Amino acid sequence: MAKPPLNRLDPRSRKVKILATIGPASRSPEMLRKLFKAGADAFRVNMSHGEHSDHEASIKAIRALEKEFARPVAILADLQGPKLRVGKFKNGEAVIRHSGHFTLDRNPEPGDETRVQLPHPELFGILEKGQRLLINDGKIRLRVIRADEDEILCSAEVGGVISDRKGVNVPDAEVPIPALTEKDRKDLAFAVQYGVDWIGLSFVQRPEDIAEARKLMGGYGALCAKIEKPMAVRKLDEIIELSDGIMVARGDLGVELEPQEVPPLQKRIVNAARTAGKPVIVATQMLESMIESPTPTRAEVSDVANAVYDGADAVMLSAETAAGDWPEEAVTIMDRIASQVERDEGYKERVRFLDTPPDATTSDALAHACMTIADTVAISAITVFTASGSTARRVARERPDTPMLVLTPSMGTARRVALLWGAHAVATKDIGSFEEMIAKGKRMALRHGFGKAGSKLIALAGVPFGTPGATNLLHVVTLTGNELTRHSG
């Protein structure tokens, strides 16, 4: 019995990607399908919530979408990371008096309005006078008066109600705890077992955190370092160098830094990642009001637009799609905002305002040449042949105005590339000769809607074929329109 025909979506007209978080509001196969059709290019599995059985079902539903629409989809498993929390209170909560004193200690007895246990011995002895402790996402702000091995005496700069197990942020010190907890290790093993494409590493503080996660990944998948700690910002270049991608996690950054510090820091991180040729995601509170409202605020629309103008590879929806009342509408509106920005006459100039000079390599020189040729000659697509995805990243770094068709024999590479700016990835059989490369590039361009008779393509590849990192060939070809009738593969 013949298989039913695949549902093919036209290539996305926008180049920035949309990463949607899965949760109770979007976990069903029906809703995931709606989000994908509305514009989601990749999905985030938040390991902080839900059971492995829930995540397994979501992953299988996404892979079914891949088959149905013949389009690789990236899945990012976001690890929870170490969470610092206070202990419990006698009545479940207490009120810390504004400007009063409050003590965090090692006493396991339930707390009150004067003290509570801090069940993290590694914090005692490292804090110094004047440093801050932020509780419950910064709603309560404490300043250290004195700290020793048993007690941390603080002054409450901002008091208020504190309840059991509220989170603690320590913005002014490098906390001597690993980036991976025992839960994270189990979650990472699960993600690798079920073929997740990206691992999001939370609360990165130092380059060593990246090395530990990579060892556990065993060479599988790609690692996205989440920048959400001031300590990570101080070692940003090292962390970017060791990572495959970067996420600007503005939630915790906004807690540990002053609000006005976050926008310029976001631009700095985006620029640093782009310069290094690593995909960068802007995340958290992008359309926050759409958790409850079918429309965003004007400020949120501007926030998303600015991230697109800055040249971010992807913008992310969190609770909007995970737990909100309007998940499909949130993706639809984000798609509309990004598409409108990219149609702006000034977008091309703005997105290239950052100077990303090519490295002194043949691969980088050819990637830069692709953009120059596409700016000079009417090119319908830059067709990139790649095994690892590195050539596609080099081309994307240039932010060409022309769409990029990425052809790879690796489904893993095709899925990871789904988070890369301007890339439309297709997993296809490997090539073995120059003639085969040209023929396949033409067929794939016609088949996936990247040209018609008379259109010109740029083909970028490496010889010998199948050798990672050997990009050394650029060729411009013209479509006749007859390529599909000559070959069935």
Q: Are residues 386 and 334 in the same domain?
A: no
Residue 10 domain-assigned (yes or no): no
In this predicted structure, what is the pLDDT of residue 343? 97
Residue 352 domain-assigned (yes or no): no
Given 290, 319, 345, the domain boundary residue is 345
Residue 7 domain-assigned (yes or no): no
pLDDT band of 3, cuts 50, 70, 90: very low
Say whether pLDDT at 482 is over 80.
no
Q: What is the domain-level CATH number for residue 473?
A: 3.40.1380.20
Average pLDDT over residues 29-33: 98
The answer to whether 350 is a known catalytic residue is: no
Contact by Cβ (8 Å): 179, 201:
yes
Given 112, 144, 169, the domain boundary residue is 169
Identity of residue 385: F
Say whether pLDDT at 352 is over 80.
yes
Q: Six-digit token pair at 136?
A: 């419950």
SS (H, E, C) the chain: CCCCCCCCCCCCCCCCEEEEEECCCCCCHHHHHHHHHHCCCEEEEECCCCCHHHHHHHHHHHHHHHHHHCCCCEEEEECCCCCCECCCECCCEEEECCCCEEEEECCCCCECCCEEECCCHHHCCCCCCCCEEEECCCCEEEEEEEECCCEEEEEEEECEEEECCCEEECCCCCCCCCCCCHHHHHHHHHHHHCCCCEEEECCCCCHHHHHHHHHHHCCCCEEEEEECCHHHHHCHHHHHHHCCEEEEEHHHHHHHCCHHHHHHHHHHHHHHHHHCCCCEEEECCCCHHHHCCCCCCHHHHHHHHHHHHCCCCEEEECHHHHCCCCHHHHHHHHHHHHHHHHHCCCHHHHHCCCCCCCCCCHHHHHHHHHHHHHHHCCCCEEEEECCCCHHHHHHHHCCCCCCEEEEECCHHHHHHHCCCCCEEEEECCCCCCHHHHHHHHHHHHHHCCCCCCCCEEEEEEECCCCCCCCEEEEEEEECCCCHHHHCCC
Q: Are residues 206 and 299 in the same domain?
A: yes
Q: Are residues 199 and 123 in the same domain?
A: no
Tens digits of per-residue pLDDT, 187-234?
999 999 999 999 999 999 999 999 999 999 999 999 999 999 999 999
Q: Are residues 210 and 335 in the same domain?
A: yes
Average pLDDT over residues 250-259: 92
Instruction: Calculate what percentage of the chain has a pLDDT beyond 70.
Output: 96
Question: Number of folded domains in the chain?
Answer: 3
In this predicted structure, what is the pLDDT of residue 358? 83
Given 301, 318, 345, the domain boundary residue is 345
pLDDT band of 2, cuts 50, 70, 90: very low
Q: What is the domain-level CATH number for residue 149?
A: 2.40.33.10
Considering the candidates 27, 37, 83, 85, report the single residue annotated as catalytic.
85
Summary mean pLDDT of the chain: 94
Considering the candidates 132, 226, 274, 442, report the single residue annotated as catalytic.
226
The answer to whether 408 is a known catalytic residue is: no
Contact by Cβ (8 Å): 232, 265:
no
Q: Are residues 204 and 310 in the same domain?
A: yes
Q: Are residues 192 and 325 in the same domain?
A: yes
Residue 424 domain-assigned (yes or no): yes
Tens digits of per-residue pLDDT, 314-345?
999 999 999 999 999 999 999 999 999 999 99
Residue 8 domain-assigned (yes or no): no
| Rounded Cα distance, 294 and 358, in Å | 43
Q: Are residues 189 and 53 in the same domain?
A: yes
| Rounded Cα distance, 463 and 465, in Å | 5
pLDDT band of 466, cuts 50, 70, 90: low
Considering the candidates 44, 235, 397, 399, report the single residue annotated as catalytic.
44
The answer to whether 214 is a known catalytic residue is: no
Residue of higher predicted confidence among 9 and 398: 398
In this predicted structure, what is the pLDDT of residue 6? 56
Q: Are residues 47 and 192 in the same domain?
A: yes
In this predicted structure, what is the pLDDT of residue 284? 94
Q: Are residues 209 and 318 in the same domain?
A: yes
| Rounded Cα distance, 273 and 212, in Å | 21
pLDDT band of 469, cuts 50, 70, 90: low
Q: Are residues 71 and 99 in the same domain?
A: no
Rounded to two decimals, what is the model's pTM?
A: 0.93
The answer to whether 115 is a known catalytic residue is: no
| Rounded Cα distance, 55 and 438, in Å | 41
Q: Are residues 470 and 403 in the same domain?
A: yes
Q: Six-digit token pair at 246?
A: 């970067």
In this predicted structure, what is the pLDDT of residue 4? 44
In this predicted structure, what is the pLDDT of residue 275? 95
Say whether pLDDT at 457 is over 90.
yes
Residue 354 domain-assigned (yes or no): no
Q: Are residues 273 and 199 in the same domain?
A: yes
pLDDT band of 5, cuts 50, 70, 90: very low
Residue 351 domain-assigned (yes or no): no
Residue 210 domain-assigned (yes or no): yes
pLDDT band of 290, cuts 50, 70, 90: very high
Average pLDDT over residues 395-406: 95
Structural domain boundaries, residue 140:
93-169
